[in-house]
Amino acid sequence: MPLDPVAALMLDEAGAVEGRVLVVDDAGGALTRAAADAGAEVLTWCDDLRQMSEVPPEHRILALPRGWVPDLVLWRLPRAVSAVEHYAEHLAPRVAPGARIIAGGRIKHMTPAQNTALARQFTEVSASLGRQKSRVLRASAPRPRPPRWPQRRYLREIGLTVIAHGSVFATNRLDDGTRLLVRTLARVAGEPDAAASRGVALDLGSGSGILAAWLAQRNWATQAIDVTASAVASTRLTARANGVQVATRRGDGLTGVAAESVDLLVSNPPFHVGGAKDSTPTLRMIEQAGPVLRPGGELWLVFNAHLPYLPLLRKHVGITTIEAQDRHYLVTRSLKDPG
Ligand SMILES: C[S@@+](CC[C@H](N)C(=O)[O-])C[C@H]1O[C@@H](n2cnc3c(N)ncnc32)[C@H](O)[C@@H]1O
């Protein structure tokens, strides 16, 4: 498979690919394959389960093995500065003193603030020239500083503490869409610390875990699924910080969720895959929602009003009403036929 421009530039900038090479967030698996073909000892870690599944299995890791110290890191740079900071905090204490970090991205997704975030953890940081709309940041000479992530925040307006890693959607803030969904759900989700269990709720794409922890506070038996490891870890931290139980899992959509097992499915669904706008995962989630809901179960979604989800919700779940709307978002409630 030909290399995309970012990967090609990264490999040119890396020079000799030898010794122990750690590949991070290897969309498509091309960097892993190229480094292995060059004869390096390659291990690959991806936050996103879908990216990990594209990496040849023998190179996949869930964490760096003890004593395995990379000489070279090939890293697809995330867009958010908080994510760059979070990754740099993990890399700096784990690489060899002479290690080189080669972080590549599309120029349109890069800002000088990413260099600053790297420079907190590495003494030497420089940028390559641009080529085919791509650029590489080089970092070396690690100087690990105390990590800033995960970060905690008390969200007074919804009475919840959120703890999030830097690579998670909205980090520890309350996204506008999530705020509208919580306010609207409050009409039906019950009071905090309700005595009787309300049934099974599932937060799909849980991010920092705001929705999951909020539902668990209201005595829903709550599950949370997200496709990234950092979101699952953040959801666990948020649940613990609020003293509630949430069963978390890294998963792609609703794959593996038992049929007719969920009473209340909620989501502020993804509108990006990597850097690009893409509704495909959400369309799949809507298709999968009907079968996992119990008869009479409900799907609550918040999404940008221009997205064409309403007819699909009616087709794949059932009667769908708009429960709230503001300048940007719709909150919808879809009812599975009670049978
Ligand atoms: C818009 S964010 C919402 C996060 C959180 N629920 C909130 O309201 O702040 C969407 C989340 O969906 C996750 N996601 C994206 N694709 C997914 C998939 N196929 N399966 C599960 N989760 C996914 C993302 O990692 C992200 O955390």
The CA–CA distances, whole Å, from 14 to 32, 189, 235, 241, 313 equal 13, 53, 36, 42, 47
Question: Any idea what the Cα angle at residue 297 is, between residues 292 and 300, rounded to 5°?
Answer: 90
Q: For ligand 1, atom 24, which residue shows the shortest CA distance?
A: 205
The mean pLDDT of 131-146, rounded to a whole number, is: 98
Q: How much is the pLDDT for 274?
A: 63
Q: Ligand 1, from 183, 228, 235, 329: best to mutate by most atoms within 8 Å of Cβ?
A: 228
Segment holding 283, helix H or strand E: helix 280-292
CB atoms within 10 A of CB 114: 24
DSSP string, 134-196: EEEEEEEEE-------SEEEEEGGGTEEEEE-TTSTTTTS--HHHHHHHHHHTTTS--TT-SS
Report the separation in Å between the CA atom of 111 and the middle of ligand 1, taken as the mean of its atom positions: 24
Summary mean pLDDT of the chain = 95
- Dihedral sign of CA atoms 217, 218, 222, 227 in order: negative
276 pLDDT band, cuts 50/70/90, is low
The mean pLDDT of 4-29, rounded to a whole number, is: 96
CB atoms within 10 A of CB 92: 21
Q: For ligand 1, atom 10, which residue shows the shortest CA distance?
A: 270
Of 151, 147, 142, the residue nearest 121 (C-alpha):
142
Q: Lowest-confidence range among 37-51, 53-67, 116-130, 189-203?
A: 189-203
Q: Indicate whether 2 pLDDT > 80.
A: no
Partners of 163 in the beta sheet? 152
Atom of ligand 1 nearest to the CA of 267: 6
Q: For ligand 1, atom 12, which residue shows the shortest CA distance?
A: 205
Cα separation of 231 and 218, whole Å?
22
Segment holding 204, helix H or strand E: strand 200-204
Q: Indicate whether 279 pLDDT > 90.
A: no
pLDDT digits (tens, 9 = 90+) for 210-234: 999 999 999 999 999 999 999 999 9
The mean pLDDT of 79-94, rounded to a whole number, is: 97
Q: How much is the pLDDT for 188?
A: 85
Q: Indicate whether 237 pLDDT > 70.
A: yes
Whole-number percent of the chain with pLDDT over 90: 92
Whole-number percent of the chain with pLDDT over 70: 97
Q: How much is the pLDDT for 278?
A: 75
Q: How much is the pLDDT for 275?
A: 62
pLDDT digits (tens, 9 = 90+) for 51-61: 999 999 999 99
Residue 166, sorted as left (phi over 0), alpha (psi -120 to 50) or beta, turns out to be alpha
**What domains can be seen in the chain, in order of their start residue?**
5-142 (3.40.50.150), 151-336 (3.40.50.150)
Ligand 1, residues at Cβ distance < 6 Å: 169-170, 175, 178, 205-208, 210-211, 225-228, 231, 252-253, 268, 270, 281
Cα separation of 267 and 270, whole Å?
9
Cα separation of 242 and 224, whole Å?
15
